[in-house]
């Protein structure tokens, strides 16, 4: 099982390494968002510093939509989905492999994005333990929910434009939890931060479980 | 072969004989049971309006705005019932693979979205009177709006043209994911607004409501659950007939093409 998961994840990451879609398209888009927020919100009144965590996580959610779309677009052509079905891999292994690959790609993007907001929004990164836990758990949750919806887009032709509408309301708790926990880590708000991280962990656990179970009907249905 | 000597009364030709020879479909989605259910819910709405607007006294704390709650609480409750029905239908579809559960889930979600829209609307009216603005980030109202958008996504998925089976499978999965998100969103939004406790719609209702107020509250709940059942049954039958009509038009088209072929071959 773990071998299969890693097999799928390695395949996806190798494809990303060779095509550089994430590095060449999604990452520049995310950085563009960081700029656009600066244009939209007054740069001289400290709004950006105040809102750093929230803006950061909104950008991550947008990037998640793109990365998920890409992760399943590579399965769409030439009957790859059928090949995957026939490969003998358990659907849950395919799902978890996708989740791992999406998580790794998003984590790489987030590292660059944190550096960008630290510099451009004049934010000092601290509270490393909580920040790291938040980043990992929120990303895992977004990837877990995203991978389930990604295959929906694959099954329904013309549903690509629907992915944001399906995915983003579901990720509202992730945005709330990740922003609040990051605010605490960065010292922007008082109060306990770890309960938020725990909520993100529960979210990830629930959707990993659901995704593993529900991926089979999504993938195997004629 | 014997010939029956008794003259046979001429049989009236069917009103609508389709090329595939199918019988005409029913022209209505109502039955005796739904007519009774409909009459009960309509009478109930009238009674609720009379009790809610005229007979009950204004609340000690909420004043006249409590009258909005006689509708607000029932609409939101019926919506949650609707989404639970959708989730149950979705699970049973994936298990049994029967059209019934798929269409029930879909019909229930549609009525649920309608009730959620009503909830947000009458919640905003309450807000305008109580807070002076239509919108504040009151936890319940915020949660309702997020979930409303989630289920709009569910309905949008159902409108994408694809095979019946794929549509049913995909929407069943979304119906399950969405219902699991309800408690998580609730908790997250509650915590998010935790430091900004303000007058909320549910937080201020007197727990010791009694007399006509209590009666009206329960009357509203009953009426809207009846209304929900009535609407879902009709919506389900309509969805069922739509499926039959699509099958039939396909059969008719095939039969018509076949008939053309026979005409061409015939001398």
Question: What three-state secondary structure class fits B59?
Answer: strand
pLDDT average, residue stretch B84-109: 96
The answer to whether position B266 is within a domain reads: no
CA distance linking residue A133 with residue A187, whole number of Å = 16
Residue A11, class by beta-carbon neighbours within 10 Å (0-12 exposed, 13-18 middle, 19+ buried)? middle
Tell me the pLDDT band of B139, cut-offs 50, 70 and 90: confident
- Taking CB atoms and an 8 Å limit, are B149 and A156 in contact across chains? no
Chain B interface, best mutation among A157, A159, A173, A199, by max B CB count within 10 A = A173
Q: Which residue of A has its CA nearest to B187?
A: A173
The answer to whether position B17 is within a domain reads: no
Please give the residue range of the domain that contains residue B158: 36-200+211-240
pLDDT-above-90 percentage for chain A: 64
CA distance linking residue A31 with residue A55, whole number of Å = 12
Chain B interface, best mutation among A142, A166, A195, A203, by max B CB count within 10 A = A166
Matching residue, tokens 């052509």 = A77
pLDDT at A43: 83
pLDDT value at B12 more than 80? no
Min Cα distance A144 → chain B (Å) is 11
pLDDT value at A191 more than 70? yes
Partner residue opposite A170 with nearest CB, options B152, B181, B189: B181
Q: Give the max Cα distance, chain A.
A: 58
Counting the structural domains of chain B, the total is 1
The CATH code of the domain that includes B71 is 1.20.120
Please give the residue range of the domain that contains residue A116: 2-220
pLDDT-above-70 percentage for chain B: 84
pLDDT in tens, A120-148: 998 889 899 999 999 999 999 999 999 99
Chain B residues with CB under 8 Å of A214 CB are 94, 173, 176-177
pLDDT at A159: 76
pLDDT value at A29 more than 90? yes
Min Cα distance B234 → chain A (Å) is 27
The answer to whether position B223 is within a domain reads: yes
pLDDT at B98: 93
pLDDT at A6: 92
Question: What three-state secondary structure class fits A152?
Answer: helix
pLDDT average, residue stretch B155-164: 90
Tell me the pLDDT band of B208, cut-offs 50, 70 and 90: low
CB B213 within 8 A of CB B56: yes
Say whether residue A206 is in contact with chain B using an 8 A CB cutoff. Answer: yes
- Taking CB atoms and an 8 Å limit, are A148 and B173 in contact across chains? yes
The answer to whether position B79 is within a domain reads: yes
pLDDT value at B257 more than 50? yes
Task: Choose between B215 and B202: higher pLDDT.
Answer: B215
Counting the structural domains of chain A, the total is 1
pLDDT at A222: 59
CB B150 within 8 A of CB B178: yes
**Helix, strand, coil shares, percent, chain A, to 5:** 85, 0, 15
Chain B interface, best mutation among A163, A176, A182, by max B CB count within 10 A = A176
CA distance linking residue B233 with residue B107, whole number of Å = 8
pLDDT at B145: 93
Tell me the pLDDT band of B13, cut-offs 50, 70 and 90: very low
- Taking CB atoms and an 8 Å limit, are B153 and A207 in contact across chains? no
pLDDT in tens, B176-204: 999 999 999 988 888 888 755 555 666 55
- Taking CB atoms and an 8 Å limit, are B170 and A180 in contact across chains? no
CB B193 within 8 A of CB B1: no
Over chain B, what is the mean pLDDT? 85
pLDDT value at A183 more than 90? yes
Chain A residues with CB under 8 Å of B177 CB are 145, 148-149, 170, 207, 210, 214
What Å distances lie between residue A202 and A173, A198, A219, B44, B188, CA to CA? 11, 6, 25, 43, 11
Min Cα distance B110 → chain A (Å) is 16
ipTM of the complex: 0.90
Query: Considering only A41-45, B112-116, B143-147, B161-165, which range has the smallest mean pLDDT?
Result: A41-45
The answer to whether position B9 is within a domain reads: no
pLDDT in tens, A36-93: 999 999 888 888 888 999 999 999 999 999 999 999 888 887 778 888 888 888 999 9
Q: Which of A205, A209, A141 is nearest to A176 (CA)?
A: A141
């Amino acid at each position: 099982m773990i071998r299969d998961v890693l097999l799928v994840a390695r395949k996806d990451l190798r494809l990303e390494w060779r095509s550089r879609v994430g590095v060449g398209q999604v990452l520049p888009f995310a950085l563009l968002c960081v700029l656009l927020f600066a244009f939209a919100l007054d740069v001289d009144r400290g709004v950006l510093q105040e809102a750093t965590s929230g803006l950061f996580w909104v950008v991550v959610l947008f990037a998640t939509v793109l990365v998920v779309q890409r992760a399943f677009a590579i399965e769409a052509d030439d009957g790859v989905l059928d090949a995957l079905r026939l490969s003998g891999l358990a659907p849950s292994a395919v799902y978890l492999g996708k989740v791992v690959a999406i998580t790794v790609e998003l984590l790489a993007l987030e590292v660059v994005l944190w550096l960008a907001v630290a510099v451009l929004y004049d934010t000092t990164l601290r509270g490393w333990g909580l920040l790291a836990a938040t980043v990992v758990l929120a990303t895992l949750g977004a990837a877990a929910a995203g991978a389930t919806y990604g295959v929906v887009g694959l099954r329904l032709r013309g549903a690509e434009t629907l992915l944001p509408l399906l995915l983003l309301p579901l990720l509202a708790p992730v945005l709330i939890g990740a922003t609040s926990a990051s605010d605490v880590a960065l010292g922007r708000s008082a109060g306990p931060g770890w309960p938020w991280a725990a909520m993100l962990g529960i979210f990830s656990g629930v959707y990993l479980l659901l995704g593993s179970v529900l991926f089979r009907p999504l993938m195997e249905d004629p | 072969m014997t010939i029956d000597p008794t003259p046979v009364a001429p049989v009236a030709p069917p009103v609508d004989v389709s090329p595939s020879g199918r019988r005409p479909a029913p022209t209505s989605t109502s039955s005796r049971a739904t007519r009774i259910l409909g009459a009960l819910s309509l009478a109930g709405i009238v009674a609720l309006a009379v009790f809610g607007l005229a007979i009950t006294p204004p609340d000690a704390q909420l004043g006249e705005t409590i009258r909005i709650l006689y509708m607000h609480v029932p609409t939101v409750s019926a919506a949650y019932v609707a989404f639970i029905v959708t989730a149950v239908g979705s699970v049973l579809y994936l298990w049994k693979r029967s059209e019934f559960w798929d269409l029930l889930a879909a019909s229930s979600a549609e009525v649920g979205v309608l009730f959620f829209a009503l909830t947000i609307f009458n919640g905003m009216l309450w807000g305008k009177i109580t807070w002076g603005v239509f919108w504040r980030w009151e936890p319940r109202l915020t949660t309702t709006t997020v979930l409303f958008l989630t289920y709009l996504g569910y309905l949008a998925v159902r409108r994408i043209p694809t095979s019946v089976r794929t549509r049913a499978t995909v929407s069943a999965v979304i119906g399950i994911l969405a219902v699991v998100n309800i408690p998580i969103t609730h908790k997250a939004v509650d915590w998010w607004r935790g430091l900004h406790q303000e007058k909320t719609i549910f937080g201020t209702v007197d727990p010791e409501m009694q007399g006509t107020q209590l009666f009206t509250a329960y009357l509203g709940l009953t009426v809207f659950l009846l209304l929900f059942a009535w609407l879902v049954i009709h919506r389900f039958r309509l969805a069922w007939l739509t499926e039959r009509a699509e099958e039939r038009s396909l059969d008719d088209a095939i039969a018509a093409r076949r008939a053309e072929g026979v005409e061409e071959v015939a001398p």
